[in-house]
Amino acid sequence: MKKTAFILLVFIAQFSVAQENVVYPIIPQPNYLQATGGTFALSDTTTIVANENSFEAQYLKSYLEKNYDLHVKIDSHYPPFKNFILLLNAIENNATQLDQESYQLKVTKKGVTITAVGSAGLFYGIESLIQLLPVEKSKNLNVACLQISDWPRYTWRGMHLDCSRHFFTKDEVKKYIDYLAMYKFNTFHWHLTDDQGWRIEIKQYPLLTSVGGQRNQTLIGKPSKNDKYDGKAYGGFYTQEDVKEIVAYATERHITIVPEIEMPGHSLAALAGYPQYSCTGGPFKTYTTWGVSDDVYCAGNDSTYTFIENILTEVFDLFPGKYVHIGGDECPKERWKECPKCKKRMADEHLKDENELQSYFVTRIEKFVNSKGKQIVGWDEILDGGLAPNATVMSWRGTQGGIAAAKQNHYVVMTPGKPCYFDHYQSKAKDREPLAIGGFNPLDSVYNYDPTPKSLSVTEQQYILGAQGNVWTEYITDFSKVEYMSLPRMCALSEVVWTKPENKNYSNFIARLKMNSKILDRMNANYAKLFTLQK
């Protein structure tokens, strides 16, 4: 499949999707879809024509066995005359990422052909095929005959999960990745450290998990003048073997994991084990309440940077992607204002204020990260005091930070609190909803979001990599609630980052979502069913 083919299809995509009266339960909405009439009957006699070592072929075979008790075979030499699913990887050496993630899906009465220039495109084509299958088990699965040509709008299609405030098991993280894969997300932002818990094993510094990975108790409800705690010790972390397993699982599904190792703030859990890297020397305990601790890494102490660099070196060995998220947000400066080492650093480096000291901190860490062939991502506070030369900005305090970064020719991931924070309420009937941090981000507001600000020039818009949904877990105590807060808002966001705006239609999305939700039912997902009330 060539890039030029997709360019030609762009001109007819809107017409073809709009003219199709039949609703197909594919999310995100394909950019070109045309019904051709009739059905293909997939059965035990169907052959998947592909390399037997292909993960995509094995994935489809396993899916059919698990969910339908169909035992198809894989054969790389079977002539595809009838009753076949042909996976055709038309490798193109110079294909861009968007080309590699694009695919064509053709269903005829004889069989199915999925063509792509990369294995990611094949995988996405398979996910679309899976969504077309009837949910009910049958020895003959009838699939509507159609043609799809599809390609993503953005290169960064992300979802986030905070495993610091509350810890989720390895299998739960994998299930979260399953949801991302189904809806064609390609980035999993894994929040692993914060004031309330350090969740990744670092062999050189075992106290990070044995001390920082535990807290004595946890605040009940929201902070108030009369705080109450549950009195129960809480902890958990991922061993490096756990991380390798999860990374491999995600990689097979064409999802890159971006680990977040917070600095210079949100670092109390680390300082609980290693207080010598603070401004005061401690002692500290892992935070038992929500919010932000005033105790942060000392920016004036050279050994602090060595400590962080050693941590990042182990992190880099575990995560093959090019990005590491360093946080950089909500860093109180109170300790720095009083710290002799920080004052000296500011004087030596001719820094006018603590914001510039944070910029110095981030830039110094970035230089190390770049030396290892990696790139940093940070929340939009890294703009304060001056942006590090190669940093990618994640804009969460609205969109202004992203706009400012793009105007400075820095790459941007748009993730504004409204509407991309899925820890916010999704219904105005808050008394009937689980406790949330606040805010209101209903399904339609997520669906209607456009990550590319119109205030940017055409050249500046090219710096918008995409968008991301965030799931912070102060008030999300178990994985069932992660599902409830994420789904179906994740579905809406998937269409934001994949489908061209002119091919989107909210009423059509709701109709498809009602059909698609049967797959979520089969996965035993605890999703919010508020959309069933919508026309």
Average pLDDT over residues 207-230: 96
pLDDT score of 267? 98
- In the chain, where the domains are located: 3-150, 156-533
Taking the CB of residue 235, how many other CB atoms lie within 10 A of it? 17
Q: What is the pLDDT of residue 6?
A: 40
pLDDT at site 13: 41
Cα gap 317→436, rounded to integer Å:
36
Q: What is the pLDDT of residues 449-474, one digit of tens each?
A: 999 999 999 999 999 999 999 999 99
Tell me if domain 3-150 and domain 156-533 are identical in fold.
Answer: no
Q: Please answer whether residues 515 and 22 qualify as being in contact, where contact means their C-beta atoms are separated by less than 8 angstroms.
A: no
pLDDT digits (tens, 9 = 90+) for 247-279: 999 999 999 999 999 999 999 999 999 999 999
Q: At what angle do helices 506-522 and 119-132 cross, to 10 degrees?
A: 90
Mean pLDDT of 282-305: 98
* CA distance linking residue 464 with residue 210, whole number of Å: 40
In this structure, are residues 164 and 191 in contact, taking their beta carbons and an 8 Å threshold?
yes
Q: Please compute the mean of the pLDDT values over residues 49-76 and round it to a whole number.
A: 95
Q: What are the tokens at 381?
A: 């506070």
Tens digit of each residue's pLDDT (9 = 90 or more) over 477-530 = 999 999 999 999 999 999 999 999 999 999 999 999 999 999 999 999 999 999
Share of the chain above pLDDT 70, in %: 96
**What number is the average pLDDT over the span 3-7?**
39
Residues 289, 295, 299, 301: is their CA dihedral positive or negative? negative
Question: CA 121 → CA 104, 237, 339, 360, distances in Å?
Answer: 8, 34, 53, 41
Query: CB–CB of 188/180 below 8 Å?
Result: yes
Residue 291: pLDDT band by 50, 70, 90 thresholds?
very high
- CA 280 to chain CA mean position, Å: 36
Q: 9: pLDDT confidence band, cut at 50, 70 and 90?
A: very low
Q: What is the pLDDT of residue 535?
A: 56
Q: Are 6 and 149 in contact (CB under 8 A)?
A: yes
The predicted pLDDT at position 11 comes to: 38
Distance CA 282, CA 491 (A): 45
Phi, psi for residue 267 in degrees, rounded to 5: -125, 15
pLDDT (0 to 100) of residue 268? 98
CATH class of 156-533: alpha beta
**Is 60 exceeded by the pLDDT of residue 2?**
no
| Beta pairing class for 141-150 and 32-42 | antiparallel
407-435: average pLDDT: 96
Residue 152 near residue 102 (C-beta atoms within 8 A): yes
Cα–Cα dist 356/237, whole Å? 34
Task: Please tell me whether the peptide bond between 389 and the residue prior to it is cis, using omega within 30 degrees of 0.
Answer: no
Task: Name the CA dihedral angle for 403, 409, 414, 416, rounded to a multiple of 10 degrees.
Answer: -40
CB 445 within 8 A of CB 417: no
Active site residues: 194, 266, 330
Tens-digit pLDDT profile for residues 92-122: 777 889 999 999 999 999 999 999 999 999 9
What span, in angstroms and rounded, lies between the C-alpha atoms of 161 and 266? 16
Helices (H) and strands (E) in the chain, counts: 19, 21
Instruction: Inform me whether the pLDDT recorded for 187 exceeds 50.
Output: yes
Domain 3-150 classification at class level: alpha beta
Cis peptide before 320 (omega within 30 of 0): no
Q: Share the mean pLDDT of the chain.
A: 94
What do you get for the CA distance between the two ends of the chain, in Å? 38
Q: What is the predicted pLDDT for the residue at 527?
A: 98
Would you place residue 15 in the very low, low, confident or very high pLDDT band (cuts 50, 70, 90)? very low
Other beta carbons within 10 angstroms of residue 135's beta carbon come to 15
* pLDDT above 90: percentage of residues in the chain: 91
| Exposed / middle / buried, residue 292 (Cβ in 10 Å: 0-12, 13-18, 19+) | middle
Asked if the model's pLDDT at residue 4 lies above 50, the reply is no
Q: What is the pLDDT of residues 363-397, one digit of tens each?
A: 999 999 999 999 999 999 999 999 999 999 999 99
